[in-house]
Structure 1
Amino acid sequence: MDSTPAGPAPFADRTFAAVIFDNDGTLVDSTGSVERSWVRWALEHDIDPRALAGHHGMPAPAIIASVAPHVDPVAAFARIEQLELADVEGVIALGGVLEAIAALDGAPVAVATSATRELARVRLAAAEIGIDEVVSFDDVERGKPHPDPFLLAAQRLGVDPADCLVCEDAPSGVAAARAAGCTVLAVTTTSEADALAGADLVVGSLADVLFEVVDGRVRVSLR
């Protein structure tokens, strides 16, 4: 699902005050854990696992309401969280991620995820990614595709959302970042490029871009 950008990045002449990363599918490959956990839950409730397609990047309660409005949402959420927390097999950093995080040392960086705080912590630790500022499902009333997670992340970093670069992999996350007024770099790790058309730049993975901190601000260029 690689995307080959044509010409220079649309923000090649820009710098950013901060970078906000989505987690699952952008920083961390948790696909196996997610699929195993959700499929197991679906089968426990006689739900066709195929109904789960197309919901990546959405908060768990929204997915539950979409595919199984008849089940107890609180119990379902608790069960899925239990399954995902117990399964970190194959949870690793995606290509280019560790290099990107290292290159951003000294710049304001945050994670804004649809996962709970505990699940985000477990997956970041499993992938050996050290980012201290994490905005999770627990921190906002409205998750993606609403802008709230990115607005709160920018607030915590002390920067203007319009001066932030967001890295995302899901259409709902791209929509949320755009609604927050952020510039968006999307990776095709979990979605086709066409589904990420709202982003300012679409690349295959973070390995396709180079992050640099220049005079305290972040510059991004294509490799």
Structure 2
Amino acid sequence: MTPAGSEPLGVFDAVLFDFDGTLANSYESMMTAYRIFAEEYGVGLDKVRSFTGMPSESLARALLPAEQAVAGGERIDELESSNTDGVVALPGALAALEAIPATRWAIATSCTHRLITARLRAAGLPTPSVLVPCDSVANGKPAPDSFLLAAKLLGFEPSRCLVLEDAPAGVAGARAAGCAVGGVLTGHTAEELGADWHVETLADLRFDVADDGVSVFRVGG
């Protein structure tokens, strides 16, 4: 039964969450790291920001000579992992994770394992049983690898999974994996994301669990 005042968005075997901008606000921490990186490597900050949502090494490869890319990516990760000031859970994040059984949700992120561990702790969010950081796959977002691995580890077909993302690279990766994708408008417009549907934050969603999966509803508004 559809809850009063809500819109059904589908029934899924599992929900795959992005982290930054979807579950937590890490913008200030990220920008602090990007500013230092831009100054150290002589790259324009606006160019660095345009690659938000991609793994650190992929960002570095896009901006630096090939021989500097690995070290540049490691430097970004070091800067972000060592400063988690201001990293906080976004509205609705904890409620969403608590509403879904551990066997039916995962986090697939462009963070490295070191960085996602630090940010989960800072945000006060639980570590999932299935956590796929970018250093667990051959290719980070916008490639589909992280979502394909998350679905596989949970034991579900990607086509039966919903991805929740806030970045164009993540939406592209989710589509390439064959997943349904919902956009979270914390950093980009609906037009920029191009997801199947969009919400402002996870507080605009309700998750009901039954034997056949997770029913997702858009509430309010």
Q: TM-score, normalised by structure 1?
A: 0.91
- The residue type equivalent to 1:65 in the other structure is R
Aligned CA distance change for structure 1 residues 214 and 201 (closer, same or farther; 3 Å): same
8 Å contact kept, 1:58–1:172: yes
Contact 1:107 1:213 in 2 (8 A): no
Which residue of 187, 194, 200 corresponds with 1:190?
Answer: 187
- What is the RMSD of the two structures over their aligned residues, measured on CA atoms? 1.7
SS in 2 for 1:14: strand
Contact 1:85/1:119, CA 8 A, preserved across alignment:
yes
- Matched with 1:4 is none
One-letter amino acid of the counterpart of residue 45, structure 2:
P
The equivalent residue for 1:213 is 209
Structure 1 stretches of at least 4 aligned residues deviating more than 6 Å after TM superposition: none
**More helix per residue: 1 or 2?**
2
- Read off the aligned partner of 1:160 and give its amino acid letter: E
Alignment of structure 1 residues 138-157 onto 2, 5 Å:
138-157=135-154
CA distance in 1, matches of 2:61, 2:14: 34
Residue 85 of structure 2 aligns to a residue whose secondary structure is coil
In the alignment, does 2:74 pair up with 1:78? yes
Helix, strand or coil at the partner of 2:91: coil
**Residues 1:177 and 2:171 are matched in the alignment:** no
Give how far 1:8 is off.
7.2
Other structure's SS at 2:129 match: coil
Q: Does 1:18 align with 2:14?
A: yes
Query: Does residue 132 in structure 1 map to residue 129 in structure 2?
Result: yes
Amino acid at match of 1:38: Y
Q: Percent identity?
A: 42
User: Which of the numbers 54, 58, 76 marks the counterpart of 2:54?
Assistant: 58
Give the letter aligned to residue 189 of structure 1.
T
Shift of 1:180: 0.6
Q: Kindly provide the CA deviation profile for residues 68-116 of structure 1, in whole angstroms up to 9, marking residues without a partner as x.
A: 2266122212221111111010101111101111111355110001110
Q: Count how many residue pairs are aligned between Structure 1 and Structure 2.
A: 214
- Map Cα deviations across residues 11-35 of structure 1 (whole Å, 9 max, x no partner): x263111110001111111111111
**For residues 46 and 204 of structure 1, do their structure 2 counterparts lie closer, same or farther at Cα, with a shift above 3 Å needed?**
same
CA contact (8 A) 1:187 1:204 kept: yes
Using the alignment, how far apart are the partners of 1:94 and 1:185 within structure 2?
Answer: 16
Distance 2:101 2:197 in 1: 23
Is 1:34 the counterpart of 2:26 in the alignment? no
Corresponding letter in the other structure for 2:186: T
Q: Is the 8 A contact 1:107 1:217 kept in 2?
A: no
Say if 2:86 is the partner of 1:90. yes
TM-score (norm 2): 0.91
Q: Which amino acid aligns with 2:151?
A: A
